[in-house]
Each structure stands twice: as structure tokens, then as C-alpha cells.
Structure 1
Amino acid sequence: MYRFLLSGRWLGWFALTALLSVACSSLGMWQLDRRDAIREDIGNVVNNYDAAPVPFEDAAGLFEDYDPAKEWLPVSMTGVYDTENQRIVRNRPLSGRAGYEVVVPLKLSDGTAVVINRGWLPIGNDEAGKPDAVPAAPGGEVTVVARIKPAEPDVSRGAPEGQLASINLSQYQDEVGYELEQGAYGLMASEDPRPDIVPEAAPKPSVDEGPHLSYAMQWFAFGVMLFVGLGYAARQEALNLRYGDEDEWEEEDDDEMIAAHPAPSRPRRPRRQRGSTQEDEEDALLDAQGY
């Protein structure tokens, strides 16, 4: 009944269905991987973001060798900003707005230099390619609480003088001419003394994991539905073939019955003789009289 499944056409349909199902499964797994990564980030936010600041002496190695589990952990440090080597980082959107971020090295008393991201600035209206004004960092000794963020990769894109294409600490180090901690930088949470005008602080990251689980289930369902659809099509094909065979058998049975039992012929009705007319009677009378 299902031998047609071994035909080239149906084997081709099966191969295509299997290929599409594998693609759906891969997309589903990709969504689950994204969900796992986001859940890990959410865990860091929940565990670290609002934690009590850790003294730099207890977290010094985290800026040199970045630990993903410590992302967003607040670290307290005291030093002096190197305002001469302050830079503007390009292409830094915030809540759908285009803009920049301000970074500056913070030199600590032990000679360590940590890059601090002081916040966000909108694009300028006075001159293209730069903000209208950059709030000055406080001079003299300052105590900064900053959250650990990983160094960014090289984006292979240049930037005008005084600007960076990304927070790539190796490139930044080459520009300032002295050693910077290379594993991570600090996203400023507070500074003391605090200037009257400061860049806009980044908002707390969302802890919503998004629709990735739902998307993954949809992709897996699509993969299953492909085989369900193929099975339904095969079932319909089998039924069509079955009904076609039954129709042929019925036609053959009808032909055999007609041949074995021919229809009886109808008897021919005898022709009626016409009744004799008056002229025929007169002729017969004359013949009898010998005329």
C-alpha cells in the first residue's frame, strides 16, 4: 500500500523534509543558546549590580584578567583622572538615541591605571561628528565607584583625533603611552566629589530574558509539523491509489457480468394484416360468378 514511498519522487520529498527539519532544529538550538547567554548575563546583573562596592585592593586582578562572573560588580577606587588623555567613544546608542561615551584613565596611588567610562553624551548640533560639550572630570583626588565591564574588541575602524572607535584598551594604551589595565574597564556608578554637570549614566540592564524560549519552541514545532505534513500527504496518496484500484475492479466485474448474462432479445411482434377493403370484396364476388 505504501510502496510508492520508495519512488524517487517521494524519497526526494523525504530528503527535503529532513533537511528543513534539521534547519528548524538548528534555529531552535540557536535560540536556546541565546537564551542561556542572556540568562547568564541576567544572573550577573541580579548577583552583582546592586552589591556593596568591593575595594580595589580586593578586586585589582579583575581589571587585568576579566572574569565574566564578575561583570557589573561595583569596585571602589581612589585616584586622579588623567584628563589630558580623555577620549570620546563613537557610535554608542542609548535607548534608541545616537551618541558618544566619555572615557578617561584613573591613575591610582600604586601606579595602576584603570579606564573609567564616565557616561553618555548625545550627538552635537554645532559640529558634526562630536558632542557639543564634554563635561569636565573633577580635578585632584577622586573616589570612584565603577562596575566591571569587559574590554571591547578592535572594530577595524578608524576614529578622528581625540576619539575611539571602541573601548579597545590595547589601542587606548598605545595612545596614552603608559600601561592601562587590559582585561576590563569601569562603568562609573558614582564619583566623589561629584561635578554639577556629568554625562548621562547608563540605565540598569534589563533582566527580561526575552522571547527566545518561545521562538525555540516554535522552530522545534515547525520541524515536527514538516513530518506531520509529509505523513498526511503520504496517507492521502495511499487512499487515492486504493480508491483508484477499487474503481478498476468494479469496472472489470461489470464487464464480466455483461459477458456472462447478455440481455434477452425482444420477440418481434407479428405484422398485422390489413383488413380487406370494399373493392377486394367486389373482385372476389365477380371471380366467383365467372366474370
Structure 2
Amino acid sequence: MVVYRFLATPRWLGYAALTVAAATVMVLLGLWQLDRYHQRAEINARIDAGTSATPVPLTSVVDAPTGAAGTVGPLPAEHTEWTRVTVTGRYDPAHEILVRGRTVEGAVGFEVLTPLVLSDGTAVLVDRGWVRPASSGALTAPDVPPAPTGSVTVAGRLRPPESRGGRPQEVNGHAEIRRITPSAIATAVPYALFDAYVSSDEPAAGLTAVPAEKQNALQNAGYVLQWWLFAAMTLYGYVYLARREARGPAPANLLDEEPDDPEPAPAHTTASRTAGTHPD
């Protein structure tokens, strides 16, 4: 239409390009949040499925290490996280490690990480559970129930390595770490480690099972709707401004332009004037 020829002017072409670019970015951000939603929903589904699933052998989910002591095996596949597994071996309490700064039910304490040595000489780290810090403070080793002796079978959830972990540090006679990273811990133990750890389902008396924390997938779903709504509002804003421009300036109020009507002369004045001009 002729009234919309202004859309081809440089100014309005610039508006259009900016609008399309902004809406495109918002749509892409929404798609990214949608992908995050599906990822988190999948993790939550695995957590729910693992609650009642029958444990499977550890080596059927992740490959055992084949290197020398101080090395780790292959990284488990992402979709295997939270799988319930079972593994048999002997605990090595001499290389037990406390993971500091761990929160369970609002309280900060330690997770107890004990290597479980398998019959082939390799080992997997087992998170035996959470324990409160000692009453004398976090620098004192808490009262940790001893690991069972002899051959034991452990059932628990498979967890991938945590990032940015370091080598265990000696703190007042006990080893501590902040993050569970088998590749860093392997340099401090006399065997090869699985590049994952097992969070025990049945901790010993005095230890609390570390709960599986679900992902907040609904938050990502909300972000999807938010970004796509912003994109729609951006496009609508451009259309609204274009239509207003096409209509032109609003017409002035006609009542304001018309002059005020003269006040009628009083009836007696008109009559007197008429009488004054009547011939004798």
C-alpha cells in the first residue's frame, strides 16, 4: 500500500533490522533454555528411575581402569549418571578422605570417601555418607564410623567426577578435599581408580545418606516462555509503530479550531433597536 512506502526508507529499514536481530537473539535464547530444560528433566527422570531400579554391576556401566597406579579409567557416559550399581571389594580405610563443606538438610559437614579395592587391584571411591563436624570445630576430624572389614558388596548411585578437584591435603592428621575428582585423588593412592564414584544407598550407622538433588527444570521452562514473549513483544512493537506512522499525525480537535459562537443579543435590546428605526 502507498501509505506504507515509508517502510523502505533508511530509517525504517534500520528499525526493521534491529527488530529482527533482537527478536532472533531472544528466540535463540529461548531455544537454549529449552535444551537446558530437556537436559535437566532427563536427569530428574534418571534419579526417579534409580529409586526403584535393580542395581547392575559397576563394570557394565563404566569401563574399569587398565593403567598403572595413579591413573584413572575412562570417563563414564553422561547418560549413566545416577544409575544404581553394585560392586564388591574391600575397603581401604588407610586412604580414607573427608570431603569438606558438604551440606545435607541445611547443615554443613563432611562426606566420607573410602576407596573400595576390587579383586583385580583397581579401586572405586565410595561415598559412604555424610557426617556432622566435630563439636570442637571444622578443623578437627569428625567422629567417623569405621568402614566394614572383609569383602563387602556396595550398592549405590554412580556419580561422575566433579570439576576443579585437587590432590588430598593433610589437615590435623586426616586427608581432606573440597571436590571429588578421581583423577586428582589417584595420584595419592597405590592403585588405579575408576573415573567416577559411587554414592552408597545404605550408609553405616552414624552416617547420613547423601540425597540426590533434582534439577530445577521448571525454572528453565519459565525462561523459555519469558524470552519468546519478549521476542513477540518486540515484533509487535515494530508493527504498532509502523501502523501509527502510516495513519499520520492525529487530527486536531475540530471544536478547538472553530471560533466561539457570538452571544445572542438580549431580546429587549433587539426590540428597542427595531422600534427606534420604525418610521413615525
TM-score bracket relative to the smaller structure: 0.7 to 0.9
Cα 1:141–1:151, aligned 2, differ >3 Å: closer, same or farther? same
Percent identical pairs in the alignment equals: 34
Aligned CA distance change for structure 1 residues 122 and 239 (closer, same or farther; 3 Å): farther
Other structure's SS at 1:42 match: helix
| Partner residue of 1:23 out of 3, 25, 37 | 25
The whole-number CA distance in structure 2 between the counterparts of 1:216 and 1:124 is: 45
Q: Does residue 1:225 correspond to 2:242, yes or no?
A: no
Structure 2: gaps (5+ residues): 66-72, 258-280
TM-score, with structure 2 as normaliser: 0.73
Q: Are 1:87 and 2:74 matched, yes or no?
A: no
RMSD of the TM alignment (CA)? 3.0
| Contact 2:134/2:140 (8 A) holds in 1 | yes
- Give how far 1:4 is off: 2.8
**8 Å contact kept, 2:167–2:187:** no
Distance 1:179 1:156, change over 3 A: closer
Greater C-alpha radius of gyration: 1
Residue 185 of structure 1, aligned match among 188, 197, 206: 197
Contact 1:72/1:148 (<8 A) preserved: yes
SS of alignment partner, residue 33 of structure 2: helix
Deviation of 1:206 after TM superposition, in Å, equals 3.6
What TM-score do you get using the length of structure 1 for normalisation? 0.71
Which ranges of structure 1 fall in alignment gaps of 5 or more residues? Answer: 252-291
Task: Find the aligned partners of 1:110 and 1:214 in 2 and give their Cα distance.
Answer: 49
| 1:149–1:31 distance in 2 versus 1, CA, 3 Å | same
- Which residue of the partner structure matches residue 100 of structure 1? 110
Taking the aligned partners of 1:147 and 1:47, their CA distance within structure 2 comes to 11
Residue in structure 2 matched with residue 262 of structure 1 by the alignment: none
The answer to whether the 8 A contact 2:97-2:113 is kept is yes
Q: What SS does the aligned partner of 1:92 have?
A: strand
| Gap change, CA 1:217 and 1:131, over 3 Å in 2 | farther
**In structure 2, what is the Cα distance between the partners aligned to 1:231 and 1:219?**
19
Q: Determine if contact 1:53/1:76 at 8 Å carries over to the other structure.
A: yes
SS at match of 1:80: strand
- 2:263 maps to none
Q: Distance in 1 between matches of 2:20 and 2:61?
A: 52
Residue of structure 2 in register with 1:273 after alignment: none
SS in 2 for 1:167: coil
Q: Is the 8 A contact 1:49 1:147 kept in 2?
A: no
Aligned with residue 185 of structure 2, among 172, 186, 204? 172
8 Å CA contact retained: 2:64, 2:194 = no
Partner of 2:217 in structure 1? 209
